[in-house]
Structure 1
């Protein structure tokens, strides 16, 4: 689904953001309700405190949930499932750095971030669940290093916090207000500290719930991997990675001028060089592999959405896979 840039720098930008959000909510309601209706479980089932059934242990299961009596009786390792709490609290860490103002396919990455947040809100707000968010809006000064790159002058921006916290509230009306606030968030130049943004979900300490991180994860892995691991100790973590195809490979279009939206740096690239395109693709694959590896090591569920594919279908497939993984091997 194509959509305009979600900029809140002017009244027209806010109007465009509202239009995109309205279309997204209608699309999500129609398709997800039709495909996923009938179950309480959303993107992630969420933790619970009430003991449920036992099932055989599978690699990757939390050893703290081992059911030792059943394990001793059957001589096979089992884990104890829990019944999801009905009043689940979900928090989203949403990265809206300037690097999200990029897209060469059906939509901008910023549109895709809002789409993911809309789907998450729709699937978790039922049954008295609460949903809140912390939104990273860039830093006060653009990051980058001087040198042969030319730098664009940074636009004047009002003094606004680099992170906006939106409290968790129950109800569809409150969830819609949360999404409108996210869409209308004023974005500052510079790069969001993704690690610090994720760490905000640990403060103040909350009861077990679901934590969702939505970002392109373009920041150095070392900066955010530890906060994700720390978050996964107490919460079920879902990482939603947004990707544009041009971040994975370069087309052969001759001389291409690239601009870093976070720093203003410009660089000319000769894309007709096959060796350069190959090195770019290899570096991009290595970077995405490092991101996936860090999330897997942290025990976070990983959903990758692309601007050139049907993101709703990807969400549905992910939900179905999560439900299948949670239910297969159940001992009755």
Structure 2
């Protein structure tokens, strides 16, 4: 890969992203801060300056309010660069679109004190990037793509990567997993191996699962005889795509897999955002963020927000 995928993100796109910036991040944990989060009975050692006199006057016990922690946002992205992500039939490959999503995340979460780190999953294994200011870390993503060995081969299982992802950085924050969630063995039914580790991740962090797809993964075109190759295993098969029955079975199986992945992701407590190489991914991202704003009272509490696009 020689072209920088961010060159396609011109000034107009930047302006569209600027309109999506949701503002400062509210911590999901109690701690030192200034904004009231909950009112509890007074315990010896509590700060008497935080006594809630209104509630105390209405009850027989003294109550104090505990503040929401004014923490800085700690974002980590797990970027799947396994061979199945090196596929695309419209404007680019899925891994290029995934890199642009990382770039957008960096722009949206960029604020003083906020950090972002990027881990990549590829046939080279799991590689951990150095956390940096969100915008700077995201802009290094193009170099990450260039550095990855794109040879055919099998990457470590996504389940192992998510498990390592959860264990490596335990400070509560935002965790984003970007993948096509395609099983190298062709499995398309629940339970998926990545569900349990993703559930553990979502129990501690805000988790967004970004599924990257391509139109040809849902519909087989009528182009006669073609040779299809599995990017993970290298297996090949000749297919006669003019067979209408075959195309219908392919579409039905693809729909079943898509629905199973959606159910699997939502069942873990993660939020699900689907982006596609054949769609306006910025529009999908905008719709997703608007949904998060509508449920702002649950955003920041792991496992509670179920909005999906």
Q: Who is 1:173 aligned against?
A: 136
What is the rounded CA distance, in whole Å, between the counterparts of 2:66 and 2:98 in structure 1?
Answer: 32
1:169 Cα deviation from its structure 2 partner:
2.0
Q: Radius of gyration: which is bigger? A: 2
1:31 Cα deviation from its structure 2 partner:
1.9
Q: Which runs of 4+ in 1 moved over 3 A?
A: 22-28, 50-54, 80-86, 171-175
Answer whether contact 1:245 1:306 (CA < 8 A) is retained. Answer: yes
What is the rounded CA distance, in whole Å, between the counterparts of 1:162 and 1:83 in structure 2?
Answer: 38
Mind listing any 5+ residue stretches in structure 2 that lack a counterpart?
39-54, 59-64, 299-309
What is the rounded CA distance, in whole Å, between the counterparts of 2:134 and 2:257 in structure 1?
Answer: 39
Alignment counterpart, residue 197 of structure 2, candidates 220, 224, 227 = 227
Q: Who is 1:158 aligned against?
A: none
1:163 aligns to 2:132 (yes or no): no
1:163 Cα deviation from its structure 2 partner:
1.4
Matches within 5 A, 1:152-231: 161-170=124-133, 172-177=135-140, 179-187=141-149, 188-192=151-155, 193-219=157-183, 220=187, 222-231=192-201
Higher RCO, 1 or 2 (CA under 8 Å, sep at least 6)? 1
Matches within 5 A, 1:1-332: 7=1, 13=2, 16=3, 19-24=4-9, 28-33=13-18, 35-37=19-21, 39-41=23-25, 47-49=28-30, 52=36, 83=68, 85-138=70-123, 161-170=124-133, 172-177=135-140, 179-187=141-149, 188-192=151-155, 193-219=157-183, 220=187, 222-327=192-297
Taking structure 1 as the reference length, the TM-score comes to 0.72
Answer whether contact 2:73 2:174 (CA < 8 A) is retained. Answer: yes
| Structure 2 residue matching 1:90: 3-state secondary structure | strand
1:310 Cα deviation from its structure 2 partner:
0.5
What is the rounded CA distance, in whole Å, between the counterparts of 1:173 and 1:107 in structure 2?
Answer: 23
User: Which has the larger share of helix?
Assistant: 1
1:238 Cα deviation from its structure 2 partner:
0.3
What is the rounded CA distance, in whole Å, between the counterparts of 1:243 and 1:82 in structure 2?
Answer: 42
What is the rounded CA distance, in whole Å, between the counterparts of 2:69 and 2:214 in structure 1?
Answer: 35
Mind listing any 5+ residue stretches in structure 1 that lack a counterpart?
1-6, 8-12, 55-69, 74-79, 139-160
1:203 Cα deviation from its structure 2 partner:
2.1
| Structure 2 residue matching 1:134: 3-state secondary structure | strand
